[in-house]
Amino acid sequence: MIYVDSLLCSPLERETPDHRPALDQIAAGEVGCVVTTVGFWEDATESMDQLVKWRHMAEDNADLVEIAYTAGDIRRIADSGRCAIVLGFQNVSFLQGRLGYVELFARMGTRVGQLTYNIQSDIGGSCYEPHDSGLSRYGKYVVREMNRCGMVVDLSHVGNTTTLDAIRHSAEPVAITHSNPHSWAPHPRNKPDEVLDALKDNGGVIGLSVYRNIVGEHTTAEKWSEMVAWTVDRIGIEHVGIGTDFDQTGGMEYVSWMRQGRWARETQYGAGSKANPGKAPKLDWFASPADFPNAEQALRARGFDDREVALLMGENWLNFFDRTFKEL
């Protein structure tokens, strides 16, 4: 069994704080693959600078991690006892409005791109936007080009109208790497049943999150597993995985960059709120990647069998990457 985390947002490429303890947590949890967050608001060259930093981090910690460019790479790296890093972005601001950059960033190793982060873009509307435009004309071209180039369309922070448009328009299965069902945890970041059903029909996968701001009341292993089980009942086991949304190392300056970027002067709270502005505390049973075995345990306790546990813990994502990653 290979554990996959479909969304990690730890800024491990940064020189401070020392990222080795965070990598040790990933190793302790025997996590075989993480989709990382290379950027949020960066333009093309800033994103390229980020790609270089991630590469350097991986080179400097080759005993624990390696960047994966193919689904085969992921299995090989995981089988070696290390963690495969899949390069993903939580926004496609790296395109700078250029459709042609999809292929270039795919060639540079980018395998996952979220269509929007927390604000509207030239692609579509975000989950926090009061009026979601739906997928723009440019956005439609981008989705098809991402399909062609094997860059996974991620819809986690994307608004519901844009999400449904993107699912309809995509020629390939799409991902929701880190969200929960809205009917279980009402929050703009979570997905209504209509979206989950569309994801199922599309052949996509959702990574259920343990980020406290979006798990609602389901903070214990038992309650969280209940939410997993409900999701499995709703859309089928092959469409469900885990995307923790863990930030292991970023301080408030990083959280502020993530939430606010350069698009506002007024403080933005992201998935938090004015009353809850800081970093959300972690769930006590799943507080870092080191706790992945606890999730396996919780799913077994909920009654999933060996095969089902393996699918939920990572195989669904690996099968999804097999289908969606492409060599250009």
For residue 199, give the amino acid letter. L
The region of 52-60, 112-120, 169-177, 245-253 touching a copy of itself under the rule CB under 8 A is 52-60
Region 149-168 residues binding a copy of itself, contact defined as CB under 8 A: none
- Sign (positive or negative) of CA dihedral 128, 129, 134, 137: negative
Q: How far is the CB of 116 from a copy of itself (least distance, A)?
A: 21
Short-list 313, 168, 322, CA closest to 232: 313
CB nearer to a copy of itself: give 80 or 96: 96
> If phi over 0 gives left and psi between -120 and 50 gives alpha, with beta otherwise, what is residue 183?
alpha
Q: How far is the CB of 25 from a copy of itself (least distance, A)?
A: 27
Q: Which of 48, 64, 119, 280 binds a copy of itself (CB under 8 A)?
A: 48
What string of DSSP letters covers 47-100? HHHHHHHHHHHHHHTTTTEEE--SHHHHHHHHHTTSEEEE-EESS-GGGTT-TT
- Sign (positive or negative) of CA dihedral 81, 26, 179, 182: positive
Give the DSSP H or E segment for 259: helix 252-260
Q: Which of 20, 45, 276, 284 binds a copy of itself (CB under 8 A)?
A: 45
**Contacting residues for 57 by C-beta, under 8 A, at least 6 apart:** 12, 13, 19, 65
CB nearer to a copy of itself: give 107 or 168: 107
Q: How far is the CB of 182 from a copy of itself (least distance, A)?
A: 38
Q: How far is the CB of 34 from a copy of itself (least distance, A)?
A: 21
| Distance (Å, whole) CA 170 – CA 42 | 25
Q: Is-contact 247 279, C-beta < 8 A?
A: yes
Short-list 168, 225, 217, CA closest to 190: 217
Q: How many chain residues interact with a copy of itself (CB under 8 A)?
A: 17
Q: Is residue 20 part of the contact set for a copy of itself (CB under 8 A)?
A: no
CB nearer to a copy of itself: give 88 or 243: 88
CB nearer to a copy of itself: give 48 or 287: 48
Short-list 172, 162, 286, CA closest to 221: 286
Q: Is residue 51 part of the contact set for a copy of itself (CB under 8 A)?
A: yes
| Interface characters, 97-116, with a copy of itself (x: CB under 8 A) | -x-xx-xx--xxx-------
The region of 22-30, 44-52, 122-130, 266-274 touching a copy of itself under the rule CB under 8 A is 44-52
Q: How far is the CB of 84 from a copy of itself (least distance, A)?
A: 16
**β-strands 83-86, 65-67 pairing:** parallel
Q: How far is the CB of 108 from a copy of itself (least distance, A)?
A: 5
| Distance (Å, whole) CA 328 – CA 310 | 30
As a dihedral over the C-alpha atoms of residue 66, residue 114, residue 176, residue 253, rounded to 10 degrees, the angle is 70
| Interface characters, 58-97, with a copy of itself (x: CB under 8 A) | --------------------------------------x-
Q: Which of 1, 14, 30, 44 binds a copy of itself (CB under 8 A)?
A: 44
Catalog residues that contact a copy of itself under the rule CB under 8 A: 44-45, 48-49, 51-52, 55-56, 96, 98, 100-101, 103-104, 107-109
